C-alpha cells in the first residue's frame, strides 16, 4: 500500500506522513523543499521499515499536477491513498492583495487538488479500491473577510469532497475531508499571522493529523477538529449571513 501526500515537508502534512508510516504504508512525499522531504523520508524509512519516495515540486505552478502524476507513474507505484494537504492563505484586504499570490493560492488550493483527485479517483474507481483525504479548514463553513480567497478555496474543497464522496461510494472509494481550525504550524507565518507563539492555545499539527487520520480510517466524510470549532459551526447555523460576515471581519481584523 502506498500513500501520496502533498505539502508533506512540515506541519499537518508531515504528521499525516507519520500516521501512515505507523501503519506500514509506503509513502510518496511531495513539497517544494527537497531537503526537508529527504530528512523526513530518512526518519520514517528507518523507524518503520517502509519505502519512502520524495518528489520536490511547487504545486502552485500551472501544470504541476500533471507533472507530479507523470513523476509518480515513472516510479511504477500504485497510489492507494491520495492526501491533498498542500495549501496556503493570505491575510489582508483583497483589494490591496498581491494578485499573483491569490492566483497561486487558487492554483494550489483548488486547481492542483482537483486535478490530482481526478487522476487518482479514476484509477481507484477502476480498481474499486482507494481513499482520498482532502484537507480543508473550519473556514470552509463561513465567508472570510480579510482572508477572502483562502476561505473561498476551502469552501470549494469541502463542497467538492462531499460531492465526489457520494459519487465514488458505490465503487468502494472513500473520500474524507479534514477541517482543522487554527493550528500550530507554518501556515500562520506564511499567511501573515507572524511566527508561532510559545504556549499557543491552538492544537499541534500532530493532534490534528492523528484526529484526521483516525476519522478517515473510520470512513467519516467530514471531520471538524476541535470541540470549539464544531460548536461555533453549529451556532452559526442560526445566525444571518450578515452576522457571520461581521463577526469574521472583526475577528480577522484583530489579527493584523
Q: Which of 81, 115, 120, 154 is catalytic?
A: 154
Residue 78's contacts (CB-CB under 8 Å, 6 or more residues apart) are: 2, 123, 127
Confirm if 121 and 109 have CB atoms less than 8 A apart: no
**Is residue 38 exposed (0-12), middle (13-18) or buried (19+ Cβ within 10 Å)?**
middle
150 is catalytic: yes
Q: Which of 150, 171, 215, 237 is catalytic?
A: 150
- Distance between CA atoms of residues 10 and 86, nearest Å: 10
- Distance between CA atoms of residues 160 and 218, nearest Å: 20
Residue among 54, 55, 60 nearest 88 (CA) = 60
Confirm if 223 and 32 have CB atoms less than 8 A apart: no
CA atoms within 13 A on the CB side of 212: 35
- Distance between CA atoms of residues 117 and 210, nearest Å: 22
24 is catalytic: no
Q: CB neighbours (10 Å) of residue 188?
A: 21
Residue among 89, 116, 1, 38 nearest 29 (CA) = 38
- DSSP-derived 3-state class of residue 56: strand
The catalytic residue positions are 150, 154
Amino acid at each position: 500500500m502506498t500513500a501520496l501526500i502533498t505539502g508533506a515537508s512540515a506541519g499537518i502534512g508531515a504528521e499525516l506522513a507519520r500516521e501512515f508510516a505507523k501503519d506500514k504504508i509506503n509513502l510518496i512525499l511531495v513539497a517544494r523543499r527537497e531537503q526537508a522531504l529527504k530528512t523526513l523520508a530518512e526518519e520514517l524509512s528507518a523507524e518503520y521499515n517502509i519505502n519512502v519516495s520524495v518528489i520536490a515540486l511547487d504545486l502552485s505552478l500551472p501544470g504541476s499536477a500533471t507533472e507530479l502524476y507523470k513523476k509518480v507513474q515513472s516510479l511504477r507505484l500504485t497510489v492507494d491513498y491520495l492526501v491533498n494537504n498542500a495549501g496556503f492563505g493570505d491575510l489582508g484586504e483583497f483589494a490591496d492583495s498581491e494578485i499573483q499570490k491569490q492566483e497561486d493560492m487558487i492554483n494550489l488550493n483548488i486547481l492542483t487538488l482537483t486535478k490530482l483527485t481526478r487522476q487518482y479517483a479514476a484509477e481507484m474507481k477502476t480498481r474499486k479500491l482507494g481513499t482520498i483525504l482532502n484537507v480543508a479548514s473550519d473556514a470552509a463553513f463561513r465567508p472570510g473577510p480579510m482572508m477572502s480567497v483562502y476561505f473561498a478555496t476551502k469552501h470549494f474543497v469541502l463542497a467538492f469532497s462531499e460531492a465526489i464522496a457520494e459519487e465514488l461510494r458505490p465503487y468502494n472509494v472513500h473520500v474524507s475531508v479534514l477541517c482543522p481550525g487554527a493550528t500550530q504550524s507554518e501556515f500562520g507565518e506564511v499567511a501573515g499571522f507572524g511566527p508561532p507563539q510559545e504556549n499557543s492555545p491552538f492544537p499541534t499539527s500532530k493532534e490534528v493529523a492523528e484526529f484526521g487520520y483516525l476519522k478517515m480510517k473510520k470512513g467519516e466524510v467530514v471531520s471538524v477538529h476541535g470541540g470549539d470549532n464544531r460548536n461555533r459551526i453549529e451556532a452559526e447555523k442560526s445566525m444571518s449571513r450578515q452576522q457571520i460576515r461581521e463577526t469574521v471581519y472583526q475577528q480577522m481584523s484583530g489579527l493584523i
